[in-house]
Homo-oligomer: A and B are copies of this chain.
Amino acid sequence: MNKAKLIKRFKEVRDFSLEISSFLSDEDHQIQSMENASPVKWHLAHTTWFFETLILVAFDDSYKLFNAMMNSLYNSYYNSLGKLFPRSKRGLVTKPTLKEIIRYRKYVDEKALAFFEKTPLEGRLKYLLLLGLNHEQQHQELMLTDIKHGLFFNPLYPSLNISAVKVPEEQKPPNRQSSNRQSSGWLSVDEGVYHVGAEPDEDFYYDNEGPKHKVYLNSFKIADQVVTNGEYLAFMEKGGYDDALLWLSEGWDYLKKTKRKHPLYWVKQDNEWHQYTLSGLKKINPSDCLSHVNYYEASAYANWLGCRLPTEAEWEVAAKKTLSGDDPSDLEGNFAEKKTWQPHLEDSFQFFGNAWEWTSSAYSPYPGFKAEAGAVGEYNGKFMCNQYVLKGGSCATPKSHIRASYRNFFSAPSEWQFTSIRLCKVE
């Protein structure tokens, strides 16, 4: 990527955060509904802090800090940098106000752009700039999922002023029904040695996506579509949540503790299932892509059909097969830029967008993986414990952020992300 393109991308990414912010009131920006979520205001400041600290402070000798306290407030999990403000209290920081944070963004953007004009964007600097942009895109996804989680507690089920997903009345999923799922709609992959991991000549990839390496796969079949709301509803109605034999032991404990019998955001009103979306509470559309299931639910659903979840290598090998040859990075799908911020049914053979797909692979280092030294090295490696890999991106993922080799990761009970299920089976 050349300098002009990098600068253009910088502006686009920084603007998209403000566009998300524009749908929210000052008060919406403030709330934090759980330790795993952060206020949107915090995301806006934290992504800015990243550019300020790792680029401007590090490379631009003439740079003057906007305000020294931003570092302690908007640093995140980087244990190696400064003293940490407790994560669970982020929602209490009302000052600086949103207006001051917007000024902080503007200040850093102006300084950064001025600095980029006079400096070659190469080497370590280029890498950190791309890292900062990808980092901000990750937080754009979290802005959407975190605010969704916070607003859900409001009994009014408030809607953002976005255009809701439009689902034509007559729409039907093409060529599939839960009844024939077992006999059709499967892609086959042959036994053999395959490569997985990021191509070394990509403009950017996270350290956890490399090194590219060989794996041995047995032959398998993988579904050409993700599970729909209607298919999952059948599982619910046939007692899926009551049959201990279908569930991982931890998952069964989770059900006992939470008394849950349906995915997060599903609400029964007037005897009909609805789901909370960023456009408000909507009737379930059976043909739409399921979302907001945790790993336990994904595993139990697969067991119920005598199937299993794919490993991350299986998913990646199959997904790459579906990409048209010319530019594998030009992915089509329901991504964040469409601003539906809600999964819906797309055409078949769609591995990207809509909702992240749980794999059965624990998040662990690829052979030969080395974490970077210092703060940047804290980015990924330290989370390689009790997390599962998810693939493919979601309706809250910016399109330019995702790749076939991308490894997202969340703990098994996580469900506030847009997450879904793709089935796999032997032979």
- Seen from chain A, the residues whose Cβ lies within 8 Å of a Cβ on chain B are 25-31, 33, 41, 69, 72-73, 77, 79-80, 85, 89, 91-95, 97-98, 150-151, 153-156, 158, 193, 213-218, 220, 244-245, 247-252, 295-296, 299, 308, 360-362, 364-365, 367-368, 377-378, 382-386, 412, 426
Q: Is the CB of A249 within 8 A of B155?
A: no
Q: Is the CB of B213 within 8 A of A249?
A: no
Q: Is the CB of B386 within 8 A of A151?
A: no
Chain B positions within 8 Å of A31 at CB level: 30, 91-92, 94
Q: Is the CB of A249 within 8 A of B153?
A: no
Q: Is the CB of B218 within 8 A of A367?
A: yes
Q: Is the CB of B79 within 8 A of A245?
A: yes
Chain B positions within 8 Å of A295 at CB level: 385
Q: Is the CB of B362 within 8 A of A364?
A: yes
Task: Check A154/B92 contact, CB under 8 A, given A30-B31, A382-B248.
Answer: yes
Instruction: Tell me whether chain A's interface is mostly helix, strand or loop, or mixed.
Output: mixed
Task: Check A27/B154 contact, CB under 8 A, given A80-B245, A386-B386.
Answer: no
Q: In the docked arrangement, what's the CA distance between A154 and B412, Å?
A: 32
Chain B positions within 8 Å of A368 at CB level: 218, 426
Q: Is the CB of A94 within 8 A of B193?
A: no
Task: Check A95/B250 contact, CB under 8 A, given A27-B27, A245-B377, A360-B364.
Answer: no
Q: Is the CB of B308 within 8 A of A97?
A: no
CB nearest to A86 among chain B residues: B153
Most buried by B among A151, A213, A385: A385
Q: Is the CB of A153 within 8 A of B213?
A: no
Task: Check A252/B27 contact, CB under 8 A, given A153-B89, A216-B214.
Answer: no
Q: Is the CB of B218 within 8 A of A151?
A: no
Chain B positions within 8 Å of A193 at CB level: 193, 216
Q: Is the CB of A79 within 8 A of B216?
A: no
Listed by A's residue number, 21 A-B pairs whose Cβ atoms lie within 8 Å are A25-B95, A27-B27, A27-B30, A27-B94, A27-B98, A30-B30, A31-B94, A73-B156, A79-B244, A92-B150, A93-B153, A95-B154, A95-B158, A213-B218, A216-B216, A245-B377, A248-B385, A249-B382, A299-B385, A385-B412, A386-B412
